[in-house]
Amino acid sequence: MGGGICIIGSGFSAAALLLHLDDKGFDCRHVTIIGRGELGTGQAFGCVHDDFRLNVRAELMRVWPDRPLEFTHWAKTRLTDDPDAASDAGDFYRRRDFAVYMAEQLNHRPGTQSASRIESEAVALTADDRRWQVTLDDGRTVSADQVVLATGNPSPDWPFRGPVIDAPTLVRVPWRGDWVDRVGGDERVVVIGSGLTAMDTIHVLHRRNHRGNITLVAPDGLLPPVQTDWHSADALAWPEPMRASDFLGFMRRHIGDGDWQDAEWQRRFESLRVYICEAWQRLAPLDQARLMRRVGWLWSLARFRAGPQAHGSAQTLLASGQLTIRRDMVSGIATTGADGPHHVQLAGGGPIEADFVVNCSGAGRDPLVSGLVEQGLVAAHAGFRGRPALTPDLALCQPDGMPYRTLHALGPVTAHEAGDVVGAPGTATQAHELATRLAAGTPEEF
C-alpha cells in the first residue's frame, strides 16, 4: 500500500495539513492519513459533551492564517443555538462545534476527499531503500516517499507509578467527556491536576448541579486565570542572542508587576507570544530544557487561560465550599472495587476517600515518537528526554544531526522545539508553511 505523503495522526494537525496541501494545488490522491475517528477531531475536538468549550474566543481559532475571522463568521451564522457561548471576553463555542466547522472545511474542498484514510494506529516507522515503511497495529504496512508525524496529544497516564484497576469510576482519559453521565449527583469527586481539563471537569459538574464534594489536588494549588477581552497585542521583537536568563528577564520586564487576571496583563503577555516561537528556537537546547524545568508550569498556567464559563463555575464552587483545593501530589489510588470507594493517596498527607476520580494531569507519552528516538532512527533533542530534535522547518534529524528531507512533524508533537504551537492558530501556521514545502515535490535527498 502507499506512495506519496503519509500523515500519521487524524486530528486538527492532519486535517489542517491536508487542507493546506489541497490549497497549494497538491493532488491529495497521493496523501494517506493514518488514524482513527473523524478527520480533524482528534483528542481536542472529538468531545461528546456540550459543556466542554473552546478555551479561546472564536477569533483566535483558525485554520487559514490569512483569513483569521473565518471561524468567527461561520460560528455567528451556524451556531445560533448556543446562547451560552457569549461572555464579556468574547464567544467561547463548544469544542465539538469546532469539529463540525473542520468537517465542513474538508467537505467544501473536493480535492481533500481523494486522500486515502486508514483507520488504524501506526506503531512503527522504518526506512527501507529511501522509502518509509509505516507498520500498523493490525500488521499491515504502508510505504511512503514522505512522512509527517501529526500525532498530537498522547492520552494521559495516571501521574504515579503503580497499578490502577480499570473501573468506570476512575477516569484516566477525560478529554472526550464520555464519562460525565457516570458521576452520581452526591458522589465525592477527586480531580487530579489544576489545568484546563480540571476546569472543564469542574464546569460540567457544576452545570449538572452536582451536590457531592469536589477535591482538586495539585502541587501548586493554583487555578488558571480567566480569559480577558484583551485587544491590540502588537508584536514585540525579542532581543538576540539570548540565554535562558535573558529570556526570562525580557518577559518579566515586559509584563511588569500587574495582576494576571487583568486584560492589560494578558495583552502584554500576548504581544510577547507573537514571536516567541522564533525566540524559543534560537535558544540552545539545554537552555530550552532549563526554562521548561524552572518555569514551564507557570508558563502553562498563564498561557492556557480558562474560558469564562469554566472559570465562573470554579469560583462559584470555591465560594460555596463545595470545591476545595489540596496542595499536594497524588501518589497512588487504592481501591476496594470498581464502584469504589477509592483511597486517593497523597505524597504529603493522609488519603482522600472518593467515589469518582478524574485524571486531569495532562498529556502522556507518545509511544511511536519516543520509540523512534529510542531506536536511534531519529536524533534525540539535547534537552528533552525522549523527544526528537527538529529543524526550524520541522524536519526530524538523522542520528548524525543531519535533517531527513522526507520526515517532518507538526502540532503539539513539535512544541518542545518549535515553541508555542500547541493551539490551533500556531499549528495552522505550521501546516501552511509545511504544505508549501511538501507541495514542491519529493526532495532528491532522503
Taking the least distance from each CB to ligand FAD, the nearer of 197 and 266 is: 197
Taking the least distance from each CB to ligand FAD, the nearer of 12 and 74 is: 12
Looking from the CA of 396 toward its CB, the CA atoms found within 13 Å total 26
Quick one: which segment of 18-26, 33-41, 184-192, 213-221 binds ligand FAD (CB under 6 A)? 33-41
Among 9, 90, 177, 308, binds ligand FAD (CB under 6 A): 9
Taking the least distance from each CB to ligand FAD, the nearer of 71 and 356 is: 71
- How far apart are the C-alpha atoms of 345 and 333, rounded to whole Å? 6
**CA 139 to mean position of chain CA atoms:** 29
Q: What are the CA-CA distances from residue 4 to residues 303, 432, 442, 443 (Å)? A: 37, 18, 8, 12
Which residue reads 474542498 in cell numbers? 109
Minimal distance, residue 293 CB to ligand FAD, in Å: 22
Minimal distance, residue 10 CB to ligand FAD, in Å: 5
Q: Is 411 in the site for ligand FAD (CB under 6 A)?
A: yes
Q: How many residues bind ligand FAD (CB under 6 A)?
A: 34
Minimal distance, residue 173 CB to ligand FAD, in Å: 10
Considering only residues 34 to 53 of the shown chain, the ones binding ligand FAD according to CB under 6 A are 34-37, 42-44
- How far apart are the C-alpha atoms of 435 and 19, rounded to whole Å? 9
Residues 247, 250, 254, 259, CA torsion sign: positive
Q: Which of 425, 392, 394 shows the shortest CA–CA distance to 146?
A: 394
Considering only residues 240 to 269 of the shown chain, the ones binding ligand FAD according to CB under 6 A are none
> Contact letters (x/-) for ligand FAD, 67-106, by CB under 6 A?
----------------------------x-----------
Among 6, 244, 423, 430, binds ligand FAD (CB under 6 A): 423
Considering only residues 112 to 131 of the shown chain, the ones binding ligand FAD according to CB under 6 A are 121-122
Looking from the CA of 80 toward its CB, the CA atoms found within 13 Å total 2
Minimal distance, residue 197 CB to ligand FAD, in Å: 6
Residue nearest to ligand FAD (CB): 152
- How far apart are the C-alpha atoms of 7 and 150, rounded to whole Å? 7
Considering only residues 291 to 330 of the shown chain, the ones binding ligand FAD according to CB under 6 A are none
Minimal distance, residue 102 CB to ligand FAD, in Å: 9
Quick one: which segment of 28-36, 124-132, 246-254, 395-403 binds ligand FAD (CB under 6 A)? 28-36
Minimal distance, residue 357 CB to ligand FAD, in Å: 18
> Contact letters (x/-) for ligand FAD, 144-183, by CB under 6 A?
------xxxx---------------------x--------
Minimal distance, residue 252 CB to ligand FAD, in Å: 26
Cβ neighbour number for residue 93 with a 10 Å cutoff: 25
Quick one: which segment of 2-10, 74-82, 281-289, 347-355 binds ligand FAD (CB under 6 A)? 2-10
Q: What are the CA-CA distances from residue 108 to residues 21, 312, 329 (Å)? A: 14, 37, 48
Write out the DSSP string of 387-419. Answer: -B-B-TTSEEE-TTSPEEEEEEE-GGGGHHHH-
Check residue 361 and report its DSSP letter: S
Q: Which of 110, 311, 358 shows the shortest CA–CA distance to 212?
A: 358
Return the bridge partners of 118, or none.
34
For residue 264, give the amino acid letter.
E
Instruction: State which H helix or E strand residue 5 sits in.
Output: strand 5-8
Taking the least distance from each CB to ligand FAD, the nearer of 204 and 368 is: 368
27: left (phi over 0), alpha (psi -120 to 50) or beta: beta
Minimal distance, residue 321 CB to ligand FAD, in Å: 28
Minimal distance, residue 395 CB to ligand FAD, in Å: 17
> Contact letters (x/-) for ligand FAD, 365-394, by CB under 6 A?
---x--------------------------
Taking the least distance from each CB to ligand FAD, the nearer of 117 and 282 is: 117
Residue spans of alpha helices (H) in 233-351: 244-255, 263-273, 276-282, 285-303, 308-320
Q: Is 187 in the site for ligand FAD (CB under 6 A)?
A: no
Minimal distance, residue 140 CB to ligand FAD, in Å: 13
Which residue reads 456540550 in cell numbers? 50
Collapse the DSSP code of 356 into the 3-class scheme (helix H, G, I; strand E, B; otherwise coil) and give the result.
strand
By CB under 6 A, name the binding residues for ligand FAD.
8-14, 34-37, 42-44, 54-56, 61, 95, 121-122, 150-153, 175, 197, 368, 411-412, 422-424, 427
